[in-house]
Amino acid sequence: MKKLFSLAILFITLLACDSNDPDTPKPNIPLPELTTTVVSAITQTDATSGGTVTNADKVEVTAKGVVWSTTANPTIALTTKTSEGAGTASFASVLDNLTPATTYHVRAYATSEAGTAYGDEKTFTTLPPAPPKVYVAVQLQNAINKALYWQDTDIVPLSDGSKHAFAKRIAVNETGVYIAGNEHNASSKYVAKYWKDGVAVELSDGTQHAFADGLFVSGTNVYAAGSEETAQQRRAKYWVNGVATNLTDGSKHAVANSVFMKDIKVYVSGYMNEPMETARYWVDGVEVILAQSDNAVRSVANGIFVVGTDVYVSGYQQINISGTGRYVATVWKNGVITLLGNTANNSYATGVVVSNSDVYVSGYENENSINVAKYWKNGTAIPLSDGTVDEHGSSIFISSAGDVYVSGYSGNVNTGIQAKYWKNGVSHTNNSGTYAWSVCVY
């Protein structure tokens, strides 16, 4: 009986050793032995490694590859691994979908009947994210005005200088670089258009002057806002992928300055003469007239930005203060007025952006007979220039890192005008333009 019991125990032990776990070594069958290839071709999101089986003449490998993790000793239980098939030949593997500026641990692995073995562990760190590029829509004023844009320090022409052209608004995303503006045709009529990666797309038919001043891009959908001359005045309008929608009937002078798309709704800011300019915006073509301060005689809406259901509009009002028609930079939130400028000076608000609940407005203010470029953050003025020469802020952009970019220009027609932009208050230019109308970072 004791002998039969001992044989049963031995049989059970042999069965236990025959586990299907690939990491469990099998008796009398050698595990693969291998080394891990030094990691190379490291980028922000990819790298290359591999492995070599060093006892190839003694094993039959059924699976191999590399496995990686942000912690030490990664195993094939992880999903972050490659599969390079069977066989004992050396192999290379690409590690993908990595996170920039992150340290990883990687090991080669090989599986045979005996189980899974791992090579020596290598560590590497992916490269940090590439710095974003700064894009600026620029006009070069000359005998014939030229349209161009800056990509960091590179200068990219949009027109050839044979006829007047203007680059007014720029937007960049994963699908390309878009610039809205206008250019003369052979009949000397301004044609509203936008350029995608330098290729022009015409928005108007060229029979009347037309202008594209606002731009918003979502994926491959292009929204432009502007105006077109009529027999009587000028009508405000916008285009979606080239299809026009008139916002006014053209009986009164009206202009659309900016466009924004949110939750499939199209928001357009601008003004109409009644008979003086009155600021307003349209939502899918429905007009919303913005209130004016007491004693205001005119108002203009320039920028527009939408967060949730909140609509922010930047512009200015002319207010009769102490008998003087003072222009005062203004921002409206859902129609509620906040005066930004000092009412003792003339001031103008151009663009508006909301980031992390903070409201940023670009513009400029005349102080001691000099225009000072500035932006307002939650109503507090932050000067960009020192008041020794005229400078203007034309648009504003907040990067994902929280950096504040403002486009604009310095000087005047007597001293010479220079396109520029400010990043966190530091001025940048490459001396290749006159007016910088718009800035974005991507």
Task: Express each pLDDT in 392-404 by its tens digit.
Answer: 999 999 999 999 9
Comparison of pLDDT for 23 and 430, the residue scoring more = 430
Round to whole Å and give the CA distance between 283 and 261: 9
Asked if 61 and 87 touch (Cβ cutoff 8 Å), the reply is: yes
What average pLDDT does range 217-244 have in this prediction? 96
pLDDT (0 to 100) of residue 23: 53
What average pLDDT does range 119-141 have in this prediction? 96
Round to whole Å and give the CA distance between 123 and 105: 5
Round to whole Å and give the CA distance between 261 and 239: 12
Give domain limits for the chain.
Answer: 21-125, 134-441
| Model pTM score | 0.81
pLDDT (0 to 100) of residue 340: 98
Query: Peptide bond preceding 25: is omega within 30 degrees of 0, i.e. cis?
Result: no
* Residue in the structure block whose two tokens are 């731009």: 215
Token digits for 275?
Answer: 């008979």
CA 136, 278, 296, 360 dihedral sign is negative
pLDDT (0 to 100) of residue 26: 56
Give tens-digit pLDDT for 25-65: 556 789 999 999 999 999 999 999 999 999 999 999 999 99
What average pLDDT does range 53-79 have in this prediction? 97
Round to whole Å and give the CA distance between 61 and 119: 14
pLDDT (0 to 100) of residue 415: 79
Asked if 314 and 302 touch (Cβ cutoff 8 Å), the reply is: yes
pLDDT (0 to 100) of residue 27: 63
Using CA atoms in the order 20, 25, 28, 31, what is the torsion angle rounded to 10 degrees? 110
Round to whole Å and give the CA distance between 228 and 242: 14
What average pLDDT does range 311-327 have in this prediction? 93
Any bridge partners for residue 255, and if so which? Answer: 271
Is residue 181 within a helix (H) or strand (E), and if so which, with residue range?
strand 176-184
CA 17, 20, 25, 31 dihedral sign is positive
What's the CATH fold of domain 134-441?
Answer: Neuraminidase (2.120.10)
pLDDT (0 to 100) of residue 323: 77
What's the CATH fold of domain 21-125?
Answer: Immunoglobulin-like (2.60.40)
What average pLDDT does range 209-213 have in this prediction? 98
